[in-house]
Amino acid sequence: MPQWGDKIDGKEVVLRTLRSDSLEVDVTNFGATLSAVRVLNKSEWIDVLLGYESLDRYLQGGKPNFSSAVGRCANRIAGGTFDLDGHTYTLEKNNGPNHLHGGTKGFWQEIFEVVSYNDNSITLSLFSPDGHMGYPGNLQLYITYEVRGNELHFSYEGKTDQATLLNLTNHGYWNLKGHHAGTILDHKLMVNASHTTAVDENLTITGELNSLKGTAADLREDLHLISDVVDQAGPLDANYCLTLEGPDASEKVGSKAGELLAARVEAPNGISMEVWTDQPGIQVYTGNFVGLPEHPDTWHGKGAKWHKFSGLCLEPQLWPDGIHHKNFPSPILRPDETYRQHSWHVFSTQ
């Protein structure tokens, strides 16, 4: 049975812990994955992230992209194909007619190199060769996870030698009561977004924006009980287009002009989490397919069994499938550019 410290394809797979007085984060270089996030709440450490307790669980029936780095492109690319600089590139279709989250051998299955590590931060690197999963260009990627007091920071940097696509995120499944403590339906949620990117029956992005004004899916301003939102709007799985604050905010939907508060979630035990980002979108997913019976080996870990709505995903990102929609922020990365993204979570307790 594979254990932390074992080698896979000649590369050591490790588990490291980042610490502050109020926050502990377990990170493995397998997929640049977070396996646990513990928040100190009234002298008790609460693990608020769904994850597995062993390397073997990730390798044997583990959930793809489970609180891991997602790439090269988070979310869907329509038809599993795109044109760039006069060339047509064909990607794996691993989600119906579409390409999802970088493919079945996306970053979640890669073993990253540990560049540096101390009690507060870890930097991981990955070389993704030209043609991997169909994407062009040799890509050099760096991901840094850092704990600063009650904040968990995600910093991404990427360089390519050929024009390619890059849209990264972390696919964390959060339950602020504790990953073992039931559903997130009793959590309250705010998302600072006035629109979502529209999808068709295959969840393919259409290029249109849906206004949220006057709908049950408009989660701005106040905190909204998730059970009420699900009852009225249905389970959520949508890219929310973030809105800059100010009198002309309606003209700045999706602008990447600074770091902003994207979302806030609160649990009845007094733990709250804010998500800040410099990205123009955030995928909001209420765990609608967690616990599916066709995957019995997937939905349990760290002594818990997870069911529908056991975890909430809040994934900062570019708007999905921007390569096919000129009105969207572009995911194209060229050799003379450096991809950078910075997002962070702020945890608080009462």
As annotated, the active-site residues are 171, 315
Query: What pTM value is reported for the model?
Result: 0.95
Strand partners, 83: 88
Helix ranges (H only) for the chain are 55-59, 226-233
Does 13 have pLDDT greater than 70? yes
* Rounded Cα distance, 264 and 192, in Å: 9
pLDDT value, residue 171: 97
* Rounded Cα distance, 78 and 319, in Å: 13
> Between residues 292 and 245, which one has the greater pLDDT?
292
pLDDT value, residue 61: 85
Q: Output the six-digit token pair for 223.
A: 């905190």
* Rounded Cα distance, 311 and 341, in Å: 24
Residue 126's nearest CA partner among 91, 158, 163 is 158
Q: Output the six-digit token pair for 240.
A: 């929310």
* Rounded Cα distance, 48 and 45, in Å: 9
Question: Taking the chain, what is the end-to-end CA distance rounded to the nearest angstrom?
Answer: 41
DSSP output for 27-54? EETBTTEEEEEEEEETTEEEE-B---SS
pLDDT value, residue 253: 57
Does 44 have pLDDT greater than 60? yes
Give the pLDDT mean for 20-46: 97
Q: Output the six-digit token pair for 19.
A: 């610490």
Read off the pLDDT of residues 312-341 as tens digits, 9 standing for 90 and up: 999 999 999 999 999 999 999 999 999 999
pLDDT value, residue 256: 52
Read off the pLDDT of residues 78-114 as tens digits, 9 standing for 90 and up: 999 999 999 999 999 999 999 999 999 999 999 999 9
* Rounded Cα distance, 136 and 145, in Å: 27
Cβ atoms within 10 A of the Cβ of 310, count? 22
Give the pLDDT mean for 30-54: 97
pLDDT bin (cut points 50, 70, 90) of residue 243 is confident
- Judged by phi (left if over 0) then psi (alpha if -120 to 50, else beta), residue 5 lies in left
* Rounded Cα distance, 230 and 232, in Å: 6
Read off the pLDDT of residues 298-316 as tens digits, 9 standing for 90 and up: 999 999 999 999 999 999 9
3-class DSSP assignment, residue 135: coil
Does 14 have pLDDT greater than 90? yes
Give the pLDDT mean for 119-144: 98
* 68 CB-near residues (< 8 Å, 6+ apart): 31, 32, 33, 34, 107, 108, 170, 171
